[in-house]
């Protein structure tokens, strides 16, 4: 598991705001909750993203709002 600072330092040397925009738009992997108010990314997803082989989770599998 990688925290935000680790990703920004080693994998995506961009501004923190840019990183979160990418996450929100589905350009970068979404974090997972590892505790109350604590988020981290799976290292395997970040490496796949960096190599260009990461695919966002299908939005078809997500429940639709009523």
- Dump pLDDT digits (tens) for 17-57: 999 999 999 999 999 999 999 999 999 999 999 998 888 87
- 2 pLDDT exceeds 70? yes
pLDDT of residue 54: 87
The structural domains of the chain, with segments of one domain joined by +, span 4-53
- 62 pLDDT exceeds 90? no
**DSSP secondary structure, 37-62, as one string:** TEEEB-HHHHHHHHHT---PPPGGGS
pTM of the model: 0.78
């Amino acid at each position: 598991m990688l925290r935000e600072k680790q990703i920004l330092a080693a994998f995506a040397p961009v501004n923190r705001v840019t990183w979160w925009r990418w996450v929100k738009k589905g350009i970068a992997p979404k974090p997972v909750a590892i505790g109350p108010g604590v988020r981290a990314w799976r290292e395997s997803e970040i490496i796949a993203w960096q190599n260009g082989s990461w695919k966002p989770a299908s939005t078809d599998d997500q429940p639709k709002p009523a």
